[in-house]
């Protein structure tokens, strides 16, 4: 009986996130993972948008330095957020 009495489950940072004895995550744990994934995806989209807007603000000399024409920069800068 000593072996069974010493088994403890680790506590998670969020309630319900700990793995259950069956190895499955609880509802709250899955929900946290989905929300984090959506936040990373949205952050990626916004970073891409900031980069495109930066292209629109560059001078012709700066664009020439990176090998992009004004037309290409404009075409990239006006693309939709999800493109």
Full-model pTM: 0.60
Q: Decide: 23 and 14 in contact? Cβ < 8 Å.
A: no
Q: What is the pLDDT of residue 18?
A: 56
Q: What is the pLDDT of residue 82?
A: 79
- Region 6-22: what's the mean pLDDT? 55
Q: What is the pLDDT of residue 83?
A: 79
Q: What is the pLDDT of residue 20?
A: 59
Task: Tell me the pLDDT tens digit for each residue of 23-82.
Answer: 567 888 899 999 999 999 999 999 999 999 999 999 999 999 999 999 999 999 999 887
Helix axes 70-77, 27-57, angle to 10 degrees: 150
Q: Decide: 51 and 61 in contact? Cβ < 8 Å.
A: no
């Amino acid at each position: 009986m000593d072996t069974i009495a010493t088994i403890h489950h680790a506590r998670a940072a969020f309630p319900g996130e700990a793995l259950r004895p069956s190895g499955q995550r609880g509802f709250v744990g899955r929900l946290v993972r989905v929300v984090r994934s959506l936040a990373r995806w949205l952050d990626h989209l916004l970073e891409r948008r900031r980069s495109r807007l930066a292209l629109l603000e560059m001078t012709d000399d700066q664009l020439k330095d990176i090998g992009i024409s004004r037309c290409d920069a404009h075409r990239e800068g006006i693309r939709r957020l999800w493109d």
